[in-house]
Structures are given as structure tokens and as C-alpha cells.
A and B are shown apart, each in its own frame.
Chain A
Amino acid sequence: MSFNATTEPTWRAKLAIVHREIRSLRAEKTIVLALAIQLVIAGFSGFLVVGLVSLYDPSAVEGGEMAIAVTGEDREAILDIVNQQNTLSAQPYDDPDTAYDAFSERRVAAILEVTRLEDETLRITVTASDEGLGTTLLISELQESLRAVEFEERAANVDRLESQPLPVPETDGANPYVGFTYTILIPLLLFLPVFISGSIAVDSLIEERQRGTLELLRVAPLSFADVIDAKLVATAGLAPLQAVAWLLLLALNGTTIVHPGPLVVLVSVLALCIVAGGLGVALYAPDRRQAQLLYSAGIVGLLVVTTLLPEHPANTIAKFAIGSETTTTWLLLVGYSALGLGSYLLLRVGVSRLKTEGL
């Protein structure tokens, strides 16, 4: 009985501290701001990718045929191939000057001057206007055609080549954003809550130290380790909650998440690891500048050094999300769990050896 009598109030006190921590976050609306920030980051990277993909692959966005003039002695060599591209229509011009007039009068979007050199290579000079987006479109369409020309010309050189280029498989209807969604967006959305939780933990502990409110907590019926525990639970718990929210949002958006369970576990254990690390930093460093410097350097270091692993954590997330996981992926999940638990235990050992009077 006596055992129960002492533990129960401790639990209640711990819970009270967890509540206090979450209350302060709620009062400051920081969590709202945090979600907004993540949304903006995701939106921004989405914007970048949509922008980039459509710049490089404008056929993904719109159709329409562009006229181009083909001139020069060997124009016949490319005329047919360019005309096969349904976004381009090539018109032969015998006289370069007429072609140039057509270009100036906006009747053609570009001039291709084709000459065969002594070594049998084709030299193509493309004259296009520097009028921005239209030219970007034109050049990437032309690139397709010119690659086809290159392929044909190579085929003619068969006897001079040691190896043969492979025919490129024709594809259609692929969503160009799949790779981005799984390898960048999802890892980003799952990592950000973890890093934010760690940062909150650092700030929360440093602030209590600087304001001297940590002293007040010492009169509570808890050990210092319990106080740290409560902070850990409150901040590390936020990360998987946000992760679940993002995964739900993505699923609603039509992105299939094959293994949501392991992903949430992964975020939880990573949050445990990072938050424990953050609290450790905040216990070591007495000033916020120093603590945040250590924390952010540590995060950057971790992100880079983990490329040495058989799979980068971001790759692990991508594989779980798209459903291409292997034994290594599962083993790494187990490894991260062990790491999370290990860092927690390490923090406990550290805290128990700490002279709390010095804080």
C-alpha cells in the first residue's frame, strides 16, 4: 500500500506538468503558427516543383503547335523528325534571309540552320527570341526533337560505335509529381514536426532556467528527472500527432500512404531521440544562443551524417510511404526505436548525475 500511496500523487504531478507545458503552447498559439509554417513550407516546395516540372516539361501543362523555320544545306535531315513532334511544325526555307524575315514578323518562333560538317556531324544553330516563357517552352520541345535526330544519326553511325544506345521506352500518362511527393514532400512533412518539437524542448527548458521558474518546480512533489520526463512527453508527443494529421491530409489529397503505422512509429521514436537530445543540450548550455547553436548544428550534422547509413532516414520514410520497403527498411525502424529508447535512458542517467543546484 505504501508503494501506491507515494506513486499516485507523483503521476498526478507529472501529468500536471505535462498539462502546464501543453497549456503554454496553446496559450501562445505557437502550435497554430507551427502548423502554418509547415503548410507554407510544403506549399512553397510544391510551388517550386510544379513550377520547375512545368518549366522543364511544358507539355505537361498545355498544348498548341509552334511553327519553326528550318534552313541550311542539310535541312532535309531533320525536317521529318521534327514534324513528328505534334507540338512543332517545321517549315523548310531555302533562303536564310526569308527565314529571318519570317522570324522577325513572328510567323515562326525559331530558325534552325542545319549544316553537315566534314566529319559527318550535323551542326544545328537555333535562333530563338529571348521572350521568356514561350522560349522556354519552345526549347524544351525542340530538345525532344533534337534528341530524336541525334538517335537517328547515331543509328547511321552503327559501324563506328563500340556499343549501341538502347531505345528509350515510350511513356505516357505518368504523374510527374510522384517522385517528388514521396521522396521530398512526405519526408519533409514528417521531419519538420520532429525538429520543431526538439526546438520547443530546448526553448522551454532554457527559458525556465533563465526565468528561474525551474526552482519553483523543485518544491513540487517530484524529482528533477520527473520534471524533465514530463517536458519530454509533452513535446515529443506533439510530433506524431502532427505526422498523423499530415498523413491524413495527404491521403485525402489522393496520395496513397502504404504503411502509415510504421511511419508514425518512426516519427515517434525520432522525436523521442531528438527531444531527448534537445533537453540534454538545454541542460548543458545555459544560454539560448549557445543551446540553439548546438541544437541546429547537431540537426544539420545528423541529416548529413545519416547519408552513411544504408538508407537515409528520408529514404526510409519514402519507402514505407510508397510501399517499396525491404528488410533493411524494417531493420532500420527497429534500430531507430532502439536509438530513441537509448537516448531517453542516456538523458535519464545524465539527469540523475546532474547537480540541480547549479541550474
Chain B
Amino acid sequence: MSGVSSEGMNDRGSLGRIWRIARWEVTRSAGTVDRKTIAVVLVLLLAAGFVGYSAVDDGVGLEDGLYTVAVDEESPYYEVATADRTFRTVDPGEPADLIIYANGHVNPAETAKGNAAHAAFSDAVERHNEALMIAESDTAAAFPVSVTLVYEQREPLEAVGDGDLEADDGDDGTEADGDSLATDGSSDDGTGSETADDDASAIATPEFGGGSIDDSSGPQTPGSITPPFPFQSLVLAFLFVVPMNFVIQAYGSTIMDERINRRGELLLVSPASRYEIVAGKTLPYLLGVTGLVCAIALVIDGGWLSVAAVIPIALLFLAATFVGAMFARSFKELTFVTVTISVFLTTYTFVPAIFTDVTPIALISPLTLVVLDLQGESVRAVEYLFSTAPFYLGSAVLFGLGLGSYREEDMFTQKPVPSKVIDSIATHVRGKASVFAMPIVFIPFVFAIQLLTVSLVFALPETLSLPIIFLVAAGVEEVAKSVHVYAGYAHSRFDSSVKTALGIGAISGLGFFVGEKFTHVVQLVGLPDIVEGQAAFGPTLAGDSLLVLAAIALAPLVLHVVTAMIGALGASRGRRSYLVALVLATAVHATYNLGVIVLVL
């Protein structure tokens, strides 16, 4: 503490104070980890690294001995069955998942396990064949087929016939425009040996390495071609997110520390404002993450775009952790809050990035930009803004929420997380303008939750997943429209007359509607590709009368206003009636959505 109190911070500017708190944070945090701990951690990580490195060759062995196989020694498959570690051989006659007879007949047990064993065995045979062929000296005979994949963007149907597609003049390399997998298959009329060499190298690359730019540039064997799937780049992109999970652990601890035994009081009474305190405490972690991100980018050959795309993710990680640490009641709770943040943010950034090459919607995750960058593709400024703006906005909102309770009366009190959330929202609810603005601010979170729901229930059968998506989508929007109203009422910011409640509800609903429409417009202007599907409805609409058009545009407005009024009315009557109103509003909203879909279909 000496550094803070003795020299007086008045005579410096705001930046000076932030800098001082940041420096203090670094020295104090470094002091909590002694040399012995560092040594122990280093030894542990070194041991893990060493063992991990040596285990890389033969895998972790998660599938070792999973299936039993009774194989006759005369069988042609004897070598495969004994050599592949997924299978454990038992003596012929004993019960097994797979029985292989001398004539090469393979007979699986009549169970799900038997079937799975059969499929696994067929993969093992393929791997065995591949290994046999690699060992052959006559490569041309062993790999008699070479495949070159060329991906091409097809012109939209109307434009066909211009005949100006670049791939037509295949003499100087087929250049598929704007694609990661463009290859130069036709340029080398390869002599036999050259092709063979290429084959061998293509086999040597692990199967999952395919689909990225570097190893599809030559002819491959049928076994080694892979569907376009940016797996390698995706894994590399994932590397950026991993260290963030460790940084937020430390960051959460230091924020939480301030709240234990009123330690933060000392800083609060200093001349530094709470904004400066939080900025100072956050700065070292933000710089640390940035440093890590730059280092990773250097190692995996990512460009500036990767760094610029990952920084907003890091910001959101920190912002969410800050809020979590401000609300948590104990370290235990903090652990769960940080793990929740890790899991949700990782999922949210990772899942869309899987579809980088498939749909432009993947751009809602900044990791997609990283994948594109690693594949050597360019990204337009609009696309960068589209995918990172929600992250910047989201972090700003979260820091705002957390700062709302970074004050003496909230910091040191023990309250359940939900009521802390309500308190911190209430600090921002002042007057009608804020009632209008808050739903707009919540929109990025609404989208995030809706998207996560879709990706998580994806695996469930449709009869289950569709109702879940409907209810969650409607429920989340209703909460976004009414939670600040409830917070306002809980802190007596409005009078509880029916008229006021309805008025506030209407303003809130209007705010959400405006926000939603605004994001639609942004999408339309910035990324017309994404709304390709929606645009399909365009021509049919254009033929209708102006009245119908107005009705279609205004129906959502009416819906949002009405349901927000229901929510506000409930909120004015206390917690229980708010929950009832929320359920009611969600039901109305979901019914409306269902109605629209039925009408459109």
C-alpha cells in the first residue's frame, strides 16, 4: 500500500493515477507467487511437456483395448487385429465383439458395440493398407491414382455464358478466385517421379491437417484428400483463447481480493475515481493478454488481423470476469462464475468459426477472422466491424455494469448474484432516455444467447429442439426489454401507477424494436451475403399494397411494445408478479413468432 498513500496522487493526471495503480497491481500480484511455487509449477509443466511430447507419437491411447476380437491365426486380418491397439485379441472361441475366421470372414457380435467394433476394424484395415503401400518401393504402383482438387466460384446463374471464368484457360495454373484451396494442378505436367514424390509427402501429413492451404497444393492420393474444412486453422485459432482462461483466473482473484475484508476501501478513499481504479487494475491483464496474443500470432504465423480480431475477445473475457468478480460472494462462487464465462465464451467464439468456409454467418465470431487470416484470405473492414463490434460493445456494457456496483455500499455487501445484477442495472436507470437505451444495449447479449441455444440443442431431435429455441428466443428478448424496468422499480425510480408502467413499457419496447431494426439495417448494408436467404421473400412482398407492407414492418413494433408493457406492468407490482408477467410475455411472444412462421410457410 505504501506506494499508493505516501506520494499523493493529486498532482498527477488521471492517466498517471491509472498507471500507478497498474504498477502497484503488478508488483503486488508478483509478490503473491513465491519462487518455490514458480519452481514447482515449472517442474510440473516441464514434466507434462516432456511426457506429452514423447506420447505424441503413439497418441494418448484413449481407445486402447476398447473392443475385443477373436481372430484366427490363419486369417489375412491377423496382423491388423494384433497390431491395432484399439483391439484386444482373445483366443478363438471366447466371447468377443468381433470374430474373424480363417477365410477372412468378419463377423461382428449382434450388439451396438459389435457394430462399432466392425466399423472401427474396417478403418483399421484401411490404415493398415495405407501403411503397407507407403512401404512399397514402386510408388507409382502403390499409389496409382493422384487427385488434384480445384475449387471454383461459380458465377451466379444469370451471368453464365460470358465465358470469362479464369479456370477455362488452364495453361498457366488454374486460379480459383478468392478461395483458399486454389491449386496449380494443371501447371505441372509432372513426370512420374515428381508426382510420386508429392504423393509420399501428402501421405505423411496427418489426415486432419488437410483442408488448409499448405498441403492441398499438389496432387494427393484419394485417401489423403479432405473435404474443405478449416480444421487446422481452427485449432490454431483456438490456441488464442486458451491462455485467456488462465489470465481471467488471476484477474478475477485480484478484483475479488478487493472485496474481501473491505480491502478495497483504501483505494476507494484515495483521490482516484472508481473508473481509474478499475482501469488501473485491468490494464496489466489487458497488456499481458495482448502480449500473449502477439507471441502466439508470431509462433503460428498469424498476421495483425489475428491480433486485432482476438483483442476484443480478450476484452470481453476480462469484462465478464470483472462483473463476475464484482457479484460473486465467495471464491467458490467466483470459480464457477469464471468457469461459466470460459465455457460460454469459448463455445460462442468457437462454434461459429467451424463454419468459416460454409456460411458468412460464421463472421459473428472474431475467431472466424483468425481462421480467414491463417488461410491467407483478406477481410474487409466491414466484416471486421461486423464480427468485433458486438464484442467491443458487450465489454463496454459489462464494464459499465460492474462499475455500477464498484462503490462502497455495493462492493462489500453479501447479496445473491441476481440482486447484485439488479442493483448494478438500477444504477444506470435514470429517466425515460435510459429506459429507451437499455434494451438496445442488451441486444448483443440477446443475439449471443439465442445463437448459443441454437448451437447447443442442435444435436437434439427436432421435436425437442424447436420448442426450446422458440421459448428461449422469446424469453431472452422479453428479459432484455423488462429487466431494467424491474430494476428501476426495485429501486423506486418510477411511481407504480398503471399509467406510468404502461408508458415505460412502451418506451422500452420501442427501444428494443429500434435496436433490432438498426442491427438488421447494419447487416443489410455491411454484409448483403448474409441476408441472401431473407431476400428471397423480397419480390413477393414488393407486389403487395403499401398497407400490407406497413403492417409487416410494424407488426414487430406492436408485439415488442405490447409484451414490454406486460413485463413493465408486472415489474411495477413486485418480484413475483414480474416473473408471472415475464412468463406471460414470453408466451405471447412465442405464439406470435410461431404465427409468423406458419403464415410465411
Contact = CB atoms under 8 A, between A and B. Distances in A.
Interface stretch (A12-20, A129-137, A243-251, A334-342): A129-137
Interface stretch (B128-136, B290-298, B438-446, B572-580): B128-136
Category for how many chain A residues contact B: 35 or more
A179 interface: yes
A331 interface: no
A307 B351 contact: no
Interface stretch (A159-167, A215-223, A344-352): A159-167
17 contacts: A55-B227, A104-B160, A117-B195, A130-B176, A136-B358, A143-B223, A143-B225, A146-B222, A154-B133, A163-B135, A165-B133, A174-B118, A175-B115, A183-B63, A200-B335, A287-B253, A297-B40
B215 to A, nearest CB: 15
Interface in A102-126: 103-106, 117-126
A37 B261 contact: no
Given A121-B144, A296-B246, A297-B45, 8 more contacts: A46-B459, A123-B219, A163-B136, A183-B63, A184-B62, A300-B45, A303-B48, A315-B65
Contact of B332 (A28, A104, A212, A307): A28
A37 B333 CA distance: 13
Contact of A47 (B140, B143, B221, B456): B456
A178 B116 contact: yes
Given A150-B145, A154-B142, A157-B141, A127 B152 contact: yes
B2 interface: no
Given A47-B455, A130-B179, A324-B67, A301 B47 contact: yes
A173 interface: yes
Contact of B113 (A56, A289, A323): A323
B6 interface: no
A119 B191 CA distance: 8
Given A287-B32, A304-B51, A315-B61, A182 B66 contact: yes
Interface stretch (A2-10, A202-210, A259-267): A202-210
Contact of A294 (B41, B149, B227): B41
Interface stretch (B14-22, B340-348, B392-400): B340-348
Interface in B367-402: none
B203 interface: no
A179 B168 contact: no
Interface of B: 29, 32-34, 37, 40-41, 44-45, 47-49, 51-52, 55, 60-68, 76-77, 80, 88, 97, 104, 106, 112-113, 115-116, 118-122, 125-126, 128-129, 132-133, 135-138, 140-155, 157, 160-161, 165, 167-168, 174, 176, 179, 181, 185-186, 190-192, 195-196, 219, 221-223, 225-229, 246, 249-250, 253-254, 256-257, 260-261, 329-337, 339-340, 343-344, 347, 351, 354, 357-359, 416, 455-459
B144 A157 contact: yes
A30 interface: yes
A285 interface: yes
A324 B132 CA distance: 29
Contacts of A66: none
Contact of A129 (B48, B154, B351): B154
Interface string A82-96: 000000000000000
Given A104-B155, A119-B140, A163 B260 contact: no
B140 A120 contact: yes
Nearest to A328: B65
Given A28-B330, A100-B168, A319-B65, A256 B112 contact: yes
- Report which residue of B65, B135, B229 has the largest number of chain A beta carbons within 10 angstroms of its beta carbon: B65
A297 B41 contact: yes
Contact of B347 (A44, A119, A168): A44
A166 to B, nearest CB: 5
A358 to B, nearest CB: 15
Closest 7 CB pairs of A and B: A119-B192, A146-B222, A178-B116, A153-B144, A174-B119, A160-B141, A203-B331
A64 to B, nearest CB: 16
B335 A103 contact: no
Most chain A CB within 10 A, of B32, B63, B147, B459, is at B147
Interface in A292-319: 292-294, 296-298, 300-301, 303-305, 307-308, 311-312, 314-315, 318-319
Contacts of B185: 125
Contacts of A135: 151, 227-228
Contacts of B336: 30, 33-34, 37
A272 B122 CA distance: 41
Contacts of B195: 117, 119, 121, 123
A16 B128 CA distance: 61
Given A33-B336, A121-B140, A146 B330 contact: no
Contact of B136 (A129, A132, A162, A308): A162
A153 B132 CA distance: 16
Contacts of A123: 146, 148, 190, 195, 219
A145 to B, nearest CB: 8
A133 B358 contact: yes
B253 A289 contact: yes
A67 interface: no
A161 B140 contact: no
Contacts of A44: 343, 347, 351, 456
Contacts of B138: 157, 160-161
Contact of B192 (A47, A117, A178, A207): A117
Given A50-B458, A301-B47, A128 B152 contact: yes
Given A121-B195, A290-B32, A311-B61, A132 B359 contact: yes
A211 B358 CA distance: 52
B371 to A, nearest CB: 14
B45 A301 contact: yes
Nearest to B38: A293
A103 B154 contact: yes
Nearest to B98: A169
B148 A125 contact: yes
A56 B225 CA distance: 11
Given A123-B219, A147-B222, A203-B330, A166 B129 contact: yes
Interface string A219-235: 00000000000000000
Given A118-B192, A119-B192, A171-B115, A130 B32 contact: no
A207 B331 contact: yes
Contacts of B55: 304, 307-308
B112 A163 contact: no
Nearest to B457: A43
A178 B121 CA distance: 13
A326 interface: yes
